[in-house]
Amino acid sequence: MSGSLTVVGLGPGGPDTLTPEAASALAAADALYGYGPYLDRVPQRAGQMRYPSDNREEGARAAAALDRAAEGTHVAMVSGGDPGVFAMAAAVCEQIDRGGETWRKLDVSVVPGVTAMLAVAARAGAPLGHDFCAISLSDNLKPWELIERRLDAAASGGFVIAFYNPISRARPWQLGKAFERLRTHLPASTPLVFGHAVGRRDERVVVTTLEAADPSSANMATLIIVGSAETRVIERPGMSPLVYTPRSAPGAGT
């Protein structure tokens, strides 16, 4: 019997944003691997084995799932949001790239999910309406100097920027530094969106400015969208504002 490994994106929160394709892939699996809190979001099915792991064990988790698939099991590896965005799909590919022939022969596929950046953007309006990029502020897997270079390039290039992994107990100062850096490129009034735990019970979305942005209001479940000089805020009576980046940049032809 030949096994398979499907890397499945669960979306940002509840079942509403789990795609039908992801739900089918989860239901079809004999064994589920992933970070414990993500596995807890998958409905239980009798006979389906679960292998929760710690958040920091990505490489070992990917290798264990590949080994299990090589034994003939249909394995699903779960990720929050999209599995290809700062998540397990790349960790699985890395293991296959480094590993032997056996893993290269496996049936490996990736099922996309709604990534946090898109979920937060939708709550706020359309901040990603024009050119944008995503940067993980975690310096666990890259040096801080590289993050600073990328911040400079993104802000001076006029991109809207989504920050994943903005802050954690082990990385308390990076977000404040990033804001300081951005203030050298962008107007103080540049709109920012703090999207916290979007799609979950404790969801909170706050629109602020680069000048007023407070790093201590973010945590590991927050995604931050930093506008460009073009991003605008429409205030609405009795409702949250709409943040959007116009479809055309200055200087565009008509």
Residues near ligand SAH, by CB under 6 A: 12-13, 79-82, 85-87, 115-116, 120, 164-166, 195, 197-200, 220-223
Residue 14 CB, nearest approach to ligand SAH (Å): 10
Residue 248 CB, nearest approach to ligand SAH (Å): 28
Nearest CB to ligand SAH, comparing residues 10 and 210? 10
Helix 144-156, helix 174-183: angle, nearest 10: 30
Buried b / exposed e across 30-42, counting CB within 10 Å, b at 16+? bbbbbbeebbebb
Residue 118 to residue 126: CA distance in whole angstroms: 9
Nearest CB to ligand SAH, comparing residues 77 and 198? 198
Buried b / exposed e across 147-173, counting CB within 10 Å, b at 16+? beeebeebbeebbbbbbbbbbeeebee
Residue 83 CB, nearest approach to ligand SAH (Å): 6
- Residue for token pair 């022939």: 101
Q: Cβ–Cβ contacts within 10 Å for residue 180, how many?
A: 11
Residue 52 CB, nearest approach to ligand SAH (Å): 17
Nearest CB to ligand SAH, comparing residues 76 and 82? 82
Nearest CB to ligand SAH, comparing residues 124 and 221? 221
Residue nearest to ligand SAH (CB): 81
Nearest CB to ligand SAH, comparing residues 13 and 129? 13
Which residues is 232 bridged to in the sheet? 244
